[in-house]
Amino acid sequence: MRLSPLLRNRLIGSTLLIALSAQGAVIYRWVDETGRTHVSDVVPEKYRKSATRIDSSSSEVSVEQRQQAERAAAKNRALAEEAATRRQGTPAVPPSNTASQAAASKRPAQSVTDSTDCQTWRRLYRESTECFAPFRTTNGATKAEAFDKCNPIPSPELKCGPVSD
């Protein structure tokens, strides 16, 4: 399926927004000896003294905003698939069916709501993390195709606190 550049960019942008907001990791910034600025959650040993911590909490997205972005991404995928089938001359599948089929085939199939208990939320978060793992690059980024197979689940630590052993 070929997507228009505008639609592809919107889809990539919304999936990146979801990926970045779901992690909420500690991020550092440093400049190497050639003058290049680096931003990462892992700092090489020789730059640890010069690295500065970046407060990523100010750019974190709420659960509601994340769910809106997920719905928008699903709608965009459904519209793209509908446009592709129209170009091919085959009857289009209604967008609601396409979106629900795509969501049902993703892992974890269930998403987090305001009424999700902490144990379930932690299980869904673990399943989501495991699903995304094969799509992580060596520099910590997530490949866009991961969002076709995996549902991003936000960390339960904000609501449920850290896991106690």
Residue-level pLDDT at 57: 65
Predicted TM-score of the model (pTM): 0.39
The pLDDT score that the predictor gives to residue 92 is: 47
Helix, strand, coil shares, percent, the chain, to 5: 55, 10, 35
pLDDT of residue 3: 60
- pLDDT over threshold 60, residue 22: no
